[in-house]
Structures are given as C-alpha cells and as structure tokens.
Chain A
Amino acid sequence: MKLFFSPVVRGTSLLVGALLALAAAPTRGADKAVADDAFPNFESYIKISGQAPSVTGDVSSFQTRTQTQHNGGAGIEDYHYAKEASKDTTVQFDGHALVGTEDYLAQFRINKNEVGSVDFGYKRFRTFYDGVGGFFPTSSQWMPLTQRLLFLDRGNLWVSATLALPNAPVFSFRYSNETRNGQKDSTIWGDSDFTGMPNNNPPISQVRKFMPSYINIGERTEKLELSMKHTLGKTSFQVTLLGEDIKNLDTLYTTRFPNEVKPYPAPASTVLLPALNMNNQVIAQTGNGTASRATSFLATTETPFNDKLKLNTGFSYQLLHSDYSGDRSIITSTATTATGVIVGSGLSAATGVVPVQTYQYQSIAGGSHIKEFKFNAALTYAATKDISLKLAVKREQEYVLGAGTYTVVAASGTPATTTASTPRFEWSNITQNATTPEAEIRFTGIKNLALYANASKRCLSGTEYDSSAYNPLTAAAGTLVASNVSEDHGNYTVGANWRQSMLLTLRAELFSKNHQNESTGFGTRLGDYYLLDNRFTGVKLTAIVKANEALSFTTRYLNQAGKMKVTGFLPTFPAYDSCDAKNQSIGETIDWTPATSFYAQANVNLVYNNINTVYPNAGIAPASGTSQAWDVNMVLQDSKNNYLTTTLLLGAVMTKTDDLQLQWNYYRADDGNTALAVRTMPYGVVAKDVAVTVGLKHKFSDKMVGNAKLGYFDSTNGTTGGLTNFHGPIGYVSIEYGL
C-alpha cells in the first residue's frame, strides 16, 4: 500500500503545485475584450436538435430517471427572436417544440416604452412515471402495471397585458388556463399473498403491499387577475382582484390480490390455486371530482416616510366554494366451487369467476366553504447606513365549513347475491385565528461582515367540530369530535457572512424551529388530548476559498437534528419521544480554471439522513446488553435516506472552432435491508446511476454553431431486484443559427 500510494501522492502533489503556479497567469487575461475567435452570442437565433437513446433494459424507468422519451426526439430546442420595431417598441418571440419529450413553448411579447406591454403564449411539458410498484425480495415477486409508460402533460395558456402610461396608474390583466392531464403512479400500493411467507402464521402476516397503482389525472385551473398599481403622495399601492376556477377529476386505480381467487366453499382436495394464495382479487376505483371557485382581493401599500423609515401593509380576503363528488367502486372476484360448479346467478361459465360488488360507497357529494382574512404590516427602519430593523405582524382569520353525504352499499349472502344501501353523513366546522409577529435585524457596520437575525412566532387558536365514522363502510353513524386547537410555532435564524479576504469567505446560519400543535377535546370528547412538540435545530456553514484566480473551493455543511414528542390522554399517557431525526450533508464544489482555454468543475454531495421513531424501541425490552430492541423488532426500523452524488464537468478549447466538454454524473444510495422482508416491506433504496457524456461544440461560421454529444448511462436498482435496470448509449446533435 505504502509503496504504491506514496509516489502517486508525491507526484500528484508536484503536478498540482505546478499547475497552480501556472494557473494564475493565463486567467488574468479573462477580463480582456472578447477574443476574435469567441463563439458568437446570437441576439436572435434558432436551435434545432435531436437525440436518440438506445436503451437496453427497462425503458419506462429510463424515461422516469432521465425525463426523456426512450424513442428519442427532435425539434426546435430554442427559438428566440428580438427586434426593436421602432425607437421605443420591442418585439420578442420565444419558442421551442420538441417532439418526443413533448416540450412546447410559444411566447410573444411586445413592449412599448411608457405605454405598456402584451404577453401571450402557450407552454406545455411532459413528465414521465414508471408504474413500477414494489418488489418483494423473498419471493422475487414483482408485478408492475401492464402499461408502465406513464406520463403527465402540463400545459399553460396565458395572455397578459399591462398599461403603463406616464404619471398614471399601471393597470395589468392576466388570464391563464393551466391543465394537467395523464397518468402517474401512486405509492398507495395494493396487496399480494405471493410473498413466499408462511400462510396463517399469526402474528406474522403473509400479505405484503407492493402491487402498483396509478392515478388518472384530469385537472384544469383558470385564473383571471386584474390589478392596479399607483402612487399617491409617498404611498405606492397595488390592488388585485383574482378569480380562480379549478376543475379536477382524478381517479385512483388500485388492484389488490391480483391473480388470486378464493375457492368457495373451501375445497377438500382439488384447488384452483394453492391454499397459500387464497384471497379475492379486488379492483378499487376511487374517483374524486372537485370544482372549486375562489375570489380573492389583495391590497398592498408601501410608504417611505423618509430615507430611514418605511411602512408596508397588506390585506387579503378570499372566499372559496368547493363542490366535490366521487365514487369508490370495489369489485371482488369470487371463484367457483372446488368442482367447478358455478354458484349463484349471472355468473360467467367461461371464467368461473363472478364480479360481485361487496363494499363500496356511491355518489359521494358535498361541498366546502372557506372564508379567509389576512392582514399584515411591516415597519422597516434603517437606523444608520449599517443597521436595518424590521418589525412585522400578520393576522389571519379562517372559517371552514364542509359537509357531504354518500351511500354505502354492502353485499350480503354467501356468496353475495343481494345488496343493501345505507346513507352516511359527515361534516366539519373549523374556526381559527392566528397572529404572527416577526422581527429582523441586519448589521453591516463591521468591514466585510454582514450579520442578520430573524425571529417569528405564529400563535393560533381555534375550534374544530367534525363527525365521521372511523370506518364509514361498517359504522352506522359518525362520532362527534369537538376540540380546541392551538399552535405555537417559533422560527429563529441567526447568520453571518464574512469576507475575511479575497481568499476566504465564510457564511454561517444557525436556525431553530420550535413548533407545538395542541388539541384538547371538550363536550362529548372531554378527556381527549394531543400535543405534538417538535424542536429542530441546525446549522448551515459555507466556506468559499479562492486559492487564486484559477482555483476555488466551495464547501457547504448542513447539520439538522430534531426531536418530536407526543402527549396524549393525560395523565395516563404522558409525553413520549416520538421521533429523533438527524440530517447531515456535506457538499464540495471545486472550480479550476488553469487556463482561459480549460475549466474543470467537480461537485460531491454526501448525505446522512436518519429518521427514528419510537417503534423500533417500543415495548420490547432489550434482549441483552448487546442486543437492542431495534435489532429485534423488524416490523419497522429506522428510515435511512443516505446517498452520494458527484458531478464532474470539464471544458476545453480544442481549436479556433471547437470546444470539448466532458461530463460525469454518479449517484448511489445503499439503504436497503432485504432481511426486513421477514416482517415487513423493505422500503430502503438501493440504487446506482452512472452517466458519462462527451460533447463537441463546433463553430461552422459566425452565424452557425453545432453541438454533438455522445453519452452512456448505466442504472442499477436493487430496490426492484435489478428488474428495472437499464443502460445504453445516447446521442445528441444540435445546430444553432443566428438570425
């Protein structure tokens, strides 16, 4: 080891030292006039590009990870046209149209000095999801969605105009129509018995929930905004009227126990499926439709009394009505008898399986009503040129009413042949008031040092009433809940930015969050009590070291730790620690520019993140001094979210017309523990991604620049047992032409 590394370290040190010494000289020329062979900066241009991946492995996971269509795509990557139509009028058009990733933009802007502007356009982009569901390692069981190439398209059509005549109020208008359509996966996973775990072996369940599910999304939001801005005397003010109309229809599709049927009556000898897999397939379709309309009024003012004192105020009022409707259709499959004789009427002889609606709710309908007032005021006082103080307060009042009804349909008979419908009612009524004072001070009186501190405290009190059955499908009536609620949220920050020299800059910020949420039952709920106390503290440290003009190091360290505590039903259950969370992150970026013709940028982020709740410790006494409770209880262990990411970027001038770029990305998480599968779903992430790209930028002429990249990616995912791995090359070319 020593023989191998010492010369390397020594040689590398010499090389680095020499490079550092050489580095400063060429970069000092960086502020010179633009070189005659510089790549052009086009004021107006069109950029056409195309990319073609060749994916081996799981294409839907590739799409999700890279947000790129696996078949590739091409189109106008960027178009920008700007022209001064006259001395005081500017016209601008921006756009892109990439088929494959379905990324489109068309935006037109015209601006006339001292008159106003008009801006309208349409933007749409696609995000990809993979419908992967879960993987159970014991049985290597994985049943992804049949159609996994899921995506959502988000669109926005808008038009806005501003009238800004001299010495007159500025009027603005904006209308937007945002849409969100498509399908995305959900983490509400369904169940399976195909786990390889022993059946009917209490207390250990053989069932695990890893069947994928997805949501069909159809959402639209229209907004209309009118505003006026003006100055009267010393006070500038703005009033805004906002109307918002939301129409959503989202449906969750969940499959439980797929490929499983339960013979009826229980077979004596002949079975349709192994007895271990006895269950009924359930397909649940939960539809939620929402139509809400909100009207808001917002007014803000700013009054500088003098150079030192300024007052800002704000007021908002929102009235919101929401109607909702939906269904939860659940269809179960009941098998034939063991001998294949179909039971009941209307059954399918072909499959031997009958869909029976056993439990569902129908025609859920209702509405909510919210009325909300907010007011704030902030006084900013610049005591000296180096000291600034801000005192602010916010007051909020909110009234919420919600009510609805639905019908529970229960099947009866064995097997189910008749249904019964029962109406259910539920409602809520919430009133709450909150006051949030805030104070901030900034001080720059010490040379090269900026200090600041901020504190805010939100105090809320209110009353909540509601009525609902814990299990609305089985309970006849809901239970009235009445409670007083309160919140006490304190947030505190102290920070400093110190430029010690041109060589070193240090920044530090300490922060603390102290939140308490309390609920005290009264009336029929007298005795109910719940207090959540969470306290988080942390520090962010940043150091920027500029060794010379060519080399800089930026280090950022974050450390956050917090505990949460729950108190319930005093005095029986006093306060218990419910959570112990720790997060540490260290990041380093190195920028190295040894010559004007070369740069290197490297970034590393290493994160340790652990969330511990009481469960691994609960109720089980340590088996011994060396075996702790959390070693024994495998139903729920700590949630580990550790990872490492690195990026390396190199760029170099190759010739008068060519630049080279090399990029390397790496991500790794190793938080899995398949041994937990004995008692639970092992959710920990095990994954590794590597991507390398080499690019060449070429100047064909002063009007045209081309770019070609060739990359290779390799993704392995142990969380899905390697079944969603993918790898392969990807090519990209573009031509940018100055207009």
Chain B
Amino acid sequence: MNMRQRWTKQTLIFGGAAAWGLLLISCVMANRTIVAPAKIAGATYVGTKECAQCHSDQTDHFASATHARLALSDPKVGDIGCEACHGPGSQHVKAGGGKGTIINPRKSPETCFQCHLDKRGQFSLPNTHPVLAGKIGCVDCHDVHEGSAVKGSGAALESELETCTKCHTAQKGPFVFEHAAMKEGCTACHNPHGTVNQKMLVARDANLCLRCHLEAPGATPAGVINANAINSGVQNHNARLMQGTCWSAACHEAPHGSNANNHFRY
C-alpha cells in the first residue's frame, strides 16, 4: 500500500520538542495562568452558602431544579451546586461581585457544554439556533435554577409548547384545525439544539410524517403508501412522494395547524 506519510516520527518529535520549548520559554517570561473557557483562573470553591447571601432569588428554589438531583457535597466547602456551573467563586466573593470574576452561562454555553457534550456538537451543525453566535443562550429556553430544566414536563403548569412559541408565535395558533402532533410538543418533529436538516427537522423526508401516519401495509396495492391514517378514504401517495415531501407545495403545507382545512392542506 502506498501511504502518504504526512506525520513522520521526526515531525512529531521535533514539532513536539519545539512546542514544548516554546511553552517553557513562556513559563519563564510570564507567570500568569491561562485557562480554557468556562473556567476562572486562580479561583477556589467557596460553597453555595456564600452565593446565597446575594443571590437568594436563584438559590432559594434550586433544590427543586433538575440539576440539584446530581448535587454531591464537597468534603471541604459543603454544597457546591452553584459553582458546578458558575465556576469557583472565591474571586467573585472577594471582589464583591462583578463581571469576569464568575462564569455567566447566559453569555456563553461553554459551561453547559462541559457535561452536555452532545449539545456542543448539535449547536455546531448548520441548522440550529444561533447559540454559538451568541445571539441566544441555553437559559433562554431552560430554567436551571428552579423546577425542571426541560420546561413543561411532569406536573409543571406550563407546556413544552410554550417554550418555543414565546418566540415562534405564528406556530402557536390557535388554529381552527390543530395538528395533534403539536400536543407532543415541537420536539416531535424539530430538534431545537440542531440537526443536519433544514429547519432543525429530525427527518427531512416523508419519514417525518409517516412515523405516525401509516395505513396498514397491504391494505393498498403493493408498494403504495397511504398517509391518510385517520380517514377511511384510500389515497395513493406513491407518485406524490416521488415528487417531494408531505408538506411540499400544494400538499399539506400547514403542518403546525390550518385555518382552512383539517388535513392541513393550506
């Protein structure tokens, strides 16, 4: 096999030595600490009790938060629930607050990415909310200080739908004919963290719809799909699916709900 040897042993050794040498030089010339994002250089943990002195609005209800489930006390400073995300708070306490002394996840998702690695990947995709561009943040949709981080779950008053429709009001309705999928929430069809597909769809083709809209195979001629599961009429969608997806032009164009037609035709 004729392999192109781009990284030889010599390259690694000399390159590594050069990099290490540069590092040693910088250590001699400078003595400050540099840290990767979502860290505070030189800070130590102080414990949640310190945080509560000024930020009781956030700490008072944190016990009910999803992330509190994971809380483990530090043997030295006790509960460090706040600092697990905001970073060690000694400099923040010492300075009496202020920017740059504490990590603010509202400004950067890096804190969240420390554990939610998969979300970093999803937000790197071409079709996503502009979180990496800094235009919105994780906390615009997730409340990490109280209750469920995924809004609308369990016995919470609000629904998942409300998280999305506070910005996407056109999809909120109400429509004369609601699509039942909206009851499952927007995430039934979209992944708000990002997908490879346009509009953050979990599937770009008709599989998106056919997951739920199936008429029994064999009820129609071989190879014919029937996307009309609820009504009894038999509609051959074979030629239509050759042309495009279910929500293509002049078909079921109103998947979020329609004011004109209960099949979301327009």
Contacts and interface: CB of A to CB of B under 8 A. Distances in A.
B42 A32 contact: yes
B26 A652 contact: yes
Closest 10 pairs between A and B when the two form their complex, measured CB to CB: A605-B121, A209-B244, A587-B117, A41-B100, A402-B176, A618-B217, A639-B203, A392-B155, A579-B211, A573-B216
Nearest to A478: B262
Given A618-B223, A636-B206, A43 B175 contact: no
Identify the interface centre among B43, B91, B113: most chain A CB within 10 Å of its CB.
Answer: B113
A515 B184 contact: yes
Contacts of A558: 118
Interface in B121-163: 121-122, 124-126, 130, 133, 135, 153-157
Identify the interface centre among B9, B170, B249: most chain A CB within 10 Å of its CB.
Answer: B249
Contacts of A679: 242
A191 to B, nearest CB: 6
Interface stretch (A138-146, A318-326, A413-421): A318-326
Contact of A189 (B8, B174, B248, B266): B248
Contacts of B266: 286, 328, 361, 472
Interface in B59-92: 63-64, 68-72, 91
Given A403-B176, A426-B260, A598-B23, A573 B124 contact: no
Contacts, number: 474
Interface string B158-180: 00000000010110111111101
B56 interface: no
Contacts of A35: 30-33, 42
B220 A188 contact: no
B212 to A, nearest CB: 5
Identify the interface centre among B31, B211, B238: most chain A CB within 10 Å of its CB.
Answer: B211
Interface stretch (A333-341, A350-358, A370-378, A706-714): A370-378
A528 interface: yes
A627 interface: no
Interface in A193-230: 202-205, 207-211, 213, 217, 219, 221
Contact of A587 (B121, B135, B207): B121
Interface residues of B, number: 125
Given A43-B98, A653-B30, A368 B69 contact: no
A666 to B, nearest CB: 9
Given A256-B249, A564-B211, A633-B223, 13 more contacts: A82-B99, A103-B135, A211-B249, A290-B170, A430-B178, A472-B265, A554-B114, A573-B215, A579-B207, A619-B223, A635-B238, A654-B22, A671-B196
B32 A653 contact: yes
A64 B126 contact: yes
B196 A685 contact: yes
Contacts of A612: 207
A366 B261 CA distance: 13
Contacts of B12: 8, 11-12, 15
Report the contact-size class of chain A (Cβ under 8 Å from the partner): 35 or more
A288 B212 contact: no
A635 B241 contact: yes
A522 interface: no
A256 B250 contact: yes
Contacts of B154: 392, 394, 436, 438, 440, 454, 456, 491
Interface in B187-229: 195-199, 201-208, 210-225, 229
18 contacts: A4-B3, A26-B27, A36-B31, A41-B98, A127-B130, A205-B239, A213-B249, A219-B169, A284-B249, A404-B259, A456-B153, A470-B265, A519-B180, A542-B115, A568-B229, A579-B210, A599-B36, A638-B207
Contact of B177 (A68, A188, A468, A596): A468
A655 interface: yes
B101 interface: yes
B53 interface: no
Nearest to B172: A246
Contacts of B265: 470-472
Interface string A292-314: 10000010000000000000001
A314 B227 CA distance: 41
A359 to B, nearest CB: 10
Contacts of A649: 36-37
B32 A645 contact: no
A572 B234 CA distance: 14
B9 A11 contact: yes
Contacts of A589: 113-114, 117, 120
Interface of B: 1, 3, 5, 7-9, 12-13, 16, 20, 22-23, 26-27, 29-37, 41-44, 63-64, 68-72, 91, 98-101, 113-118, 120-122, 124-126, 130, 133, 135, 153-157, 167, 169-170, 172-178, 180, 183-184, 195-199, 201-208, 210-225, 229-233, 238-239, 241-245, 247-250, 253, 259-263, 265-266
A277 interface: no
Contact of A191 (B8, B239, B249): B249
A456 to B, nearest CB: 4
Interface in A242-258: 246, 248, 250, 252, 254, 256
A687 B195 CA distance: 13
Interface string A32-71: 1111111101110000000000000000000011111000
Interface stretch (A268-276, A442-450, A727-735): A442-450
B214 A652 contact: no
Interface in A462-493: 466-472, 478, 481, 485, 487, 491
A364 B202 CA distance: 32
Contacts of A366: 176, 259
Contact of A204 (B64, B99, B242): B242
Contacts of B174: 292, 320, 322, 368, 370, 400, 402
Nearest to B13: A11
A454 B222 CA distance: 45
Contact of A597 (B13, B30, B197, B222): B30
A254 B244 CA distance: 14
B169 A298 contact: no
B37 to A, nearest CB: 8
B175 to A, nearest CB: 7
Nearest to B133: A67
Nearest to B233: A470
B259 A288 contact: yes
Contacts of B8: 8
Contact of A210 (B41, B196, B244): B244
A609 B21 CA distance: 44
Contact of A619 (B41, B121, B221): B221
A588 B32 contact: no
A409 interface: no
A607 B197 CA distance: 14
Given A187-B198, A472-B265, A653-B32, A615 B210 contact: yes
A285 B31 CA distance: 65
B44 A468 contact: no
Given A31-B44, A324-B259, A639-B204, A368 B176 contact: yes
A488 B36 CA distance: 46
Contacts of A684: 204
Interface string A585-614: 101110101111111110101010001111
